[in-house]
A = this chain, B = another copy of it.
Amino acid sequence: MAVYFEGSDHLRLRKESALPQRIDDDIRVTYLVRAAAADIAERAEALMLEQTVELPRAVAARDPWVAAHLLGRVDQIAAATAGTYRVTIAQPLATAAGDPAQLLNVLFGNSSLQPDVVLADVDLPGAAFDWLPGPRAGIAGLRELAGVTGRPLLATALKPMGLRPAQLASLCATFARAGSDLVKDDHGLADHPFCPFEARVEACLGAVEEAARDTGRRALYVPNLIGTPERMRRQMEFAREAGVRAVVVSPMLTGLPFLHELASLADGLPIVAHPAFGGVLRALEPALFGKLFRWFGSDAVIFPHAGGRFSYGPDTCAALAAELRSAHPRVRPAFPVPAGGIRVERVAALLEFYGPDCILLIGGSLYDAGDALFDRTRDLVEQVTRTAAAEPVQ
């Protein structure tokens, strides 16, 4: 239960920053800030200035145009847990320069270095989505590519790093024949000399194609792009021309602005985003993976489901999934992809938890089956496909 702060400092600050009303045009960013009650109003004002002008208000406001158009405003301070406040700051959208990298800078550039601050939430005005179009395909588009309606999708993962293309293609064939909807590269499969990207893509596409001739149903093989932007653009181009229809990208490793660039390519492919390098201690997961990842162009977002070998709780997972799937006037909903050490035995509970609009990613635990990999995958496919068709959750 949020208790709103009506202390005199806060009111004074709001009064002093009597700017032209811009509420509908503002970025609204919420931080959790650790501070004493007596200091929070001043701390919030400093945080607001830190993210844009990096000067005290009086100095920045020497230029009246800056004062009128660039200075933000502390919008709300609410007590959160003991010693922590939820501080909502309104920053003019103009500060973001119509650019995804600069938007990150305004949201959490310098403040990410301040240990008393956690990025908790972000809301953008409609105009931001003129230059942040979001997912290319989204849930509906990926469903169309996979030919699946009304039930969750199943994704399996090719691993371990170290296998050569023919071995991965053989695994890919097993998963495809068993009925996996997506077969993705592990995000650690790079352009290794022992398993070059091109050879892997060709071998795995061939395996999927051959399986499709026998089963009548084509799995989506989703290769992993990793490298510098130049290398990843080459990988994307090769994959598209070879017939790939979606790719894996780890945007925190390779840069969130580059995710946006890939997602905005006229001839690009839908993107399944992996959270590697996302080190989330100081940003809440629903804001980073649920909002920013989607807005920057992820069609599906992998995240560790509660209870695996990572640490997210069920509330975090539910909030993250809700953000990804939430209705938005400009941005397509994206698939949540719970993963991270999910045991086959937990699948029923997961399907209930997430409902039909999710991609269930089962990686390592299938491999425990050894020679029974096909059968184990087949069982899993049956479990997922018999899930009652339900209205897609929006």
Contacts and interface: CB of A to CB of B under 8 A. Distances in A.
Interface in A32-63: 46, 50-56, 59-60, 62-63
Contacts of A160: 52-55, 59-60, 63, 66, 70
A344 interface: no
Interface in A207-245: 226-231
A309 B46 CA distance: 10
Contacts of A69: 162, 194
25 contacts: A52-B160, A52-B162, A54-B159, A54-B160, A56-B368, A60-B162, A66-B161, A66-B162, A66-B163, A69-B162, A99-B228, A101-B228, A102-B191, A104-B253, A108-B277, A109-B253, A112-B280, A113-B275, A113-B278, A114-B311, A115-B281, A227-B257, A253-B256, A277-B281, A279-B280
B191 A97 contact: yes
Contacts of A256: 253, 255
Contact of A277 (B105, B258, B364): B105
A392 interface: no
Contacts of A325: none
A283 interface: yes
Contacts of A193: 94, 97-98
A343 interface: no
A101 B59 contact: no
B280 A95 contact: no
Contact of A276 (B60, B63, B112, B229): B112
Given A105-B188, A187-B109, A304-B113, A159 B309 contact: no
A228 B70 contact: no
Given A279-B113, A363-B54, A261 B108 contact: no
A56 B343 CA distance: 13
A129 interface: no
Interface residues of A, number: 87
A165 interface: no
A111 B62 CA distance: 46
Nearest to A52: B161
Contacts of A106: 188
Contacts of A59: 160, 364, 367-368
A254 B50 contact: no
A162 to B, nearest CB: 3
B52 A188 contact: yes
Given A230-B261, A258-B258, 8 more contacts: A50-B309, A54-B186, A71-B162, A110-B310, A113-B278, A115-B281, A255-B256, A279-B281
Contact of A227 (B66, B99, B108, B311): B99
A52 B189 CA distance: 9
A250 interface: yes
Contacts of A376: none
